[in-house]
Structure 1
Amino acid sequence: MDRPSLMRLFSACDVNKSGRIEFGDFTAVCRELNVPESEIRTLFDRFDADEDGFIDYNEFSSRFQEVSQTLDVSTFAALTCSSPSRAGAGPWEDFVGRIDVEFQLSER
């Protein structure tokens, strides 16, 4: 993933816009993506390499490839979304689509 895309993804995961991803932010995003509750803490801990309780951009960007391979975001595409306007789209596509829309709006 290129740097601008990774920065947009980080920003989307930083739900409260603190400049870092706290566990609550991470949990909200994981729930939106239908990540099983039992896996959320494990994934967070894999990103939070220095174990300070949050994920900064450096941790996020350096660990994203490894963690995303473990998470296998392609499995989200197979999950059915509840949005009728995006029938057949999965949570991952909806999430990425929302990021793109939010980014375009912020650019204006």
Structure 2
Amino acid sequence: MNANLEKINGYSVVNVLEERIDAHNSAGLKEIFLHLIEQGEADIIVQLDRVRFIDSSGLGALLSGHKNAMAKSGRFILAGCKQQVVSMFELTRLNRIFEIYVDLTEALGSQN
């Protein structure tokens, strides 16, 4: 998985640098989330502004990250989703589970 990490305002921000999250790279994304949570970083923002496509394995990786962050009383936030990706969350009704924000600035300003 091609991604970079940065720390902003107490959040670990995972910037996904891929156009697709699918069976070929979703395991790598899941590992990134597990590593962060094992290091005590349970407040995670996933920046998805470059992602144009996500399949069921990509959704599974995000769900795994969400579940593990919640288990540590953290927050797992998605930011910068393109309409195609938002449509997939709506189709699967996962938009009811994830906190989804228009961009990183909005996500950092949220106080849920």
| TM-score, scaled to structure 2 | 0.27
Higher helix share: 1
Higher strand share: 2
Larger Rg: 1
